[in-house]
Structure 1
Amino acid sequence: MIEAVLQLRNVTKTIGKRNIVDNLSFDIPAGEVFGFLGPNGAGKTTTIRMIVGLISMSKGEAIVKGVPVRQNFELAMTHIGAIVENPEMYKFLTGYQNLVHFARRHSGVTKARIDEVVKLLGLQNRIHEKVKRYSLGMRQRLGVAQAILHRPSLLILDEPTNGLDPAGIRELRDYLRKLTREEGLTVVVSSHLLSEMELMCDRVAIIQAGKLVDVRPLQGYKDEQGTKIVVEVGNKSAARELLVAVVGESKVSERGETLEVAADRAAIPELTRMLVGAGLEVYGIHAVQRSLEEQFLEITGGEMVV
């Protein structure tokens, strides 16, 4: 059984009479890139801030490598590296000088470790330049380098792709994958970009109004729930009536001149036989993958996932 690096147990944050985060509970195993996904104000950043101790929990516990954050904060934090919002750097210093400075906060971070992290994040060519000359993507990578100097088990990144261009986003994504592979890190990331979450994460927690809606493998989401069947027929209204009677009204929708049925590709032969058997002219029937946006809009009741 894979060890859980981070466990949330009924984590709650109450402000006034309102639960900003409401009884969140889930486990994140080692070596996974895990995403927080939800509409604006869902409680993603609040959850991250509670895990790293920037704000207190009203109830519940976050457990990092078996260490409860509320009961033993200092020991728990030795297992965490984090960037909440933007990485803070001394811009008048070089990238290397920044890393040396941050290394002093942790015992046992050697020059060899600093050099190892610089190479791991692909910073060798510009590490001796002043940070004020770095692009946002370079500063993000330097921030990640700083966060993993002390060999944490868990790296937490709050909106790391904010402000990055497509090349910078891809670069960061590749380095995060490299860290999980070569350093054995578990990465928790929040993002407002659905397409990036799909490419970056193994699983996501969908959070809405402070509550956990679901925790799902992204590939599983595509395989299990991501298919729709597009039907082009001569008599659309008659076909719709027939399909609704078989699969239910909620699974049939109209898109221009076609009908869309929320069903797996394996249903195509049966639906075709049924339509043809009813005397309808079928001009085309094929399966397409529903976008992640469509799936998450559905599960969050129509609210845009950000």
Structure 2
Amino acid sequence: MQEAVLQLRNVSKTIGKRTIVDGLSFDVPAGEVFGFLGPNGAGKTTTIRMIVGLISMTKGEVFVKGVSVRKQFEQAMTHIGAIVENPEMYKFLSGYQNLIHFARRHSGVTKERIDEVIKLVGLQNRIHEKVKRYSLGMRQRLGVAQALLHRPSVLILDEPTNGLDPAGIRELRDYLRKLTQEEGISVIVSSHLLSEMELMCDRVAIIQGGKLIDVRSLQEEGTGESAQLKVTIDVNNPQLALRVLSESFQDLKISISGAQLELMTDKSRIPDIARRLVLADLDVYGISASQKSLEDRFLEMTGGEMVV
């Protein structure tokens, strides 16, 4: 893993007697799309607000490229671009005029850089139209362009897919991947949408009740011979098949669903499972295997609390 551009160390937030965020620690390396996943109210937005300095930390520390957010706030913020909740734009101005306005807040943002970010987010053909004519997806892209003007090392997006249609979500997903590849920046995305996080992110930090449950790689899991797969077996006598496999593979959890068997195992054991069923004179009509979804893993780790 590359050197971390963002580090959280025991970050906590307490208001009164309520602990909203409780001792979060994780690292985000350069060039990664990092997901921050959890139910509504889990503490995701509170954590983001602490990272960007909108609210104070009760304890702990955040470092951006080694710079302390607590002790060197202004210097740390030069490395961060963020959209917390919805991007705010002047709707009576064009997209280009909005970028000119925001560029004045940072030193060293040239016209060439403005043109560069416009191209990066794919708004060349609409940038001189007034923002009030933009779709929500286009406003999101303009917000990303604004956040990238000063060449940050970290881009933070809080629930960026809210209100977007499927086409807009896919567009955003493609642009975020392009950013990590072409700009080399890290993108942190918070969401409660499991399916989108699975498609968008390299890794996810799962947070529940303000605590970090786990950090999982989505690229490495589910690949190779040892990957855990959900296996469904269509067989003529499920009860007999269950007895045969339970005797042969005592470590497997096997259940019957209708006329099918369901179990979790790795890819390397599937041929042996099929062989045992055939040797027991059972008719096997089909075997299908699928990678355990992020939803399955989330439910396992959080004890069954579904993301809403």
Scaled to the shorter chain, the TM-score interval is: over 0.9
Task: Write out aligned runs for 1:124-163 (5 A).
Answer: 124-163=124-163
Task: Write out aligned runs for 1:37-48 (5 A).
Answer: 37-48=37-48
Of 114-123 and 277-286, deviating more is: 277-286
Indicate the percent of aligned positions where both proteins have the same amino acid.
75
Inter-CA distance 61–247: structure 2 relative to 1 (3 Å threshold): farther
Task: Write out aligned runs for 1:194-213 (5 A).
Answer: 194-213=194-213
Amino acid at match of 2:230: K
What whole-Å deviation, never above 9, does each CA across 1:250-289 have from its counterpart, x for those lacking one? Answer: x323322111111012111222343445555544334233
Name the residue aligned to 2:193: 193
8 A Cα contact 1:268 1:286, kept in partner: no
Amino acid at match of 1:299: M
Distance 2:13 2:74 in 1: 21
8 A Cα contact 1:229 1:286, kept in partner: yes
Deviation (angstroms), 1:241: 4.1
Name the residue aligned to 1:57: 57
Distance 2:227 2:23 in 1: 26
RMSD between superposed Cα atoms in Å? 1.9
Distance 1:194 1:4 in 2: 25
8 A Cα contact 2:229 2:289, kept in partner: yes
Of 189-198 and 234-243, deviating more is: 234-243
Deviation (angstroms), 1:191: 2.0
Name the residue aligned to 1:35: 35
Amino acid at match of 2:125: N
Inter-CA distance 283–172: structure 2 relative to 1 (3 Å threshold): closer
Task: Write out aligned runs for 1:209-228 (5 A).
Answer: 209-223=209-223, 226-228=228-230
Name the residue aligned to 1:123: 123
Distance 1:136 1:95 in 2: 13
8 A Cα contact 1:35 1:205, kept in partner: yes
Amino acid at match of 1:191: S
- TM (norm. structure 2) is 0.92
8 A Cα contact 2:155 2:187, kept in partner: yes
Distance 2:37 2:159 in 1: 11
Task: Write out aligned runs for 1:21-32 (5 A).
Answer: 21-32=21-32
Q: Give the paired residue count.
A: 305
- TM (norm. structure 1) is 0.93
Give unpaired runs (5+ residues) of structure 2: none
Task: Write out aligned runs for 1:1-306 (5 A).
Answer: 2-223=2-223, 226-244=228-246, 246-248=249-251, 251-278=253-280, 280-306=282-308
Of 107-116 and 222-231, deviating more is: 222-231
Deviation (angstroms), 1:12: 1.0
8 A Cα contact 2:227 2:267, kept in partner: no
8 A Cα contact 2:228 2:267, kept in partner: no
What whole-Å deviation, never above 9, does each CA across 1:115-143 have from its counterpart, x for those lacking one? Answer: 11111111111111111111101110110
Give unpaired runs (5+ residues) of structure 1: none
Distance 2:283 2:102 in 1: 70
Deviation (angstroms), 1:36: 0.7
Inter-CA distance 243–46: structure 2 relative to 1 (3 Å threshold): farther
Amino acid at match of 2:97: Q
Distance 1:96 1:110 in 2: 13
